[in-house]
Amino acid sequence: MLNIVVLVSGGGTNLQALIDAERRGEIPGGRLSCVISSRADAYALTRAEQAGIAGEVLRRGDFENQPAYDHALLVLLERYEADLVVLAGFMTIIGDEVIGRYRNRIMNIHPSLIPSFCGEGYFGQRVHRAALERGVRVTGATVHFVNEVCDGGPIILQQAVEIQDDDTPETLQKRVMEQAEWNILPRAVAMFCDGRLSVVGNRVMQINKEQREDAE
C-alpha cells in the first residue's frame, strides 16, 4: 500500500475526486495519508479533515528562501512516508531538490491539453480564457509527472473536452473539471499505485498485468 500526499492551495475539488475514488475502492494500491496546504484557510483542509486525512499547512511566506521551504517540505513528505506526491491545484513553486528527490513520483493536473496553454503564467481561469481567446474547438486536461520545466514533464493521461460557442472561462473551467480532471487524476494515481507506469525518457509507458509479472 503506497502513501499518497496531496498538495493543495484552494478549494480542493481534485482532492475530493481522489477521496471519492479511494472510497469507491478505485485506488486499491494506495491510501491518502496527508494533505499539505500552502494556505491555512484552504477549504481543501476541511475536506481532508472530514475524510479523516491528516492536514498540514506550509506557507512559502514563512521561509526566507526557496531552499529553506524545500527542506521543510521534504521533512513533511518524509514524515508521512510519501511514495507519491500529487499537486492538485498547488500554487507554490517546488524547487529542484524536491523534484530530484521524488523524480517521477510527483504528479500534476493541468487544465489543458499540454503542450497547448501551459507553462509559466498559465493556471486557473487564465488557461481557459486563453483557449477561448485563441478560438480552439477542443481543450481538456493533462496529468503529467513534474520535472524542472514548468508543465514539461512526461504526460501520463489526457482527456479532451469540446468547447461550446457560449462558453465563458467559468463555464469552461467547470466542464473541464467535471469531464476531464476528476476522471483522469484518480485514474493516473491508481495506475501509479498499481505499478502500471514506466517512464522512458520523456514518455510514460503503461504496463499491463502480464508485463508486471514478467518483470517481477
In this prediction, residues 122-134 reach a mean pLDDT of 95
Residue-wise over 159-169: b if at least 16 C-beta within 10 A, else e?
bebebeeebeb
Domain ranges of the chain: 2-215
Radius of gyration of the chain (CA): 17
pTM, full prediction: 0.94
Lowest-confidence segment of 65-69, 136-140, 163-167, 206-210 by average pLDDT: 206-210
How far apart are the C-alpha atoms of 60 and 73, rounded to whole Å? 10
**In this structure, how many other beta carbons lie within 10 angstroms of the beta carbon of residue 66?**
15
CA angle 177, 126, 60 (to 5 degrees): 90
Tell me the sheet residues that pair with 203: 155, 200
Those residues with Cβ within 8 angstroms of residue 64's Cβ, 6 or more apart along the chain or in another chain:
none
| 104 φ, ψ (degrees, to nearest 5) | 60, 25
| C-alpha cell of residue 97 | 531538490
Q: Which residues are catalytic?
A: 110
**Regarding the domain delimited by 2-215, which CATH topology (the fold level of the hierarchy) does it fall under?**
Rossmann fold (3.40.50)
pLDDT value of position 211 = 56
CA angle 174, 26, 78 (to 5 degrees): 90
Q: Which amino acid is at 112?
A: S
pLDDT value of position 207 = 87
3 state SS of 7: strand
pLDDT value of position 213 = 53
* Pairing mode of beta strands 2-8, 203-206: unpaired
Cβ atoms of 37 and 8 closer than 8 Å:
yes
Residue range 65-120, pLDDT digits in tens: 999 999 999 999 999 999 999 999 999 999 999 999 999 999 999 999 999 999 99
Residue range 24-66, pLDDT digits in tens: 999 999 999 999 999 999 999 999 999 999 999 999 999 999 9
pLDDT value of position 59 = 96
Chain centroid, CA 36 distance in Å: 13
Cis amide bond preceding 28, omega within 30: no
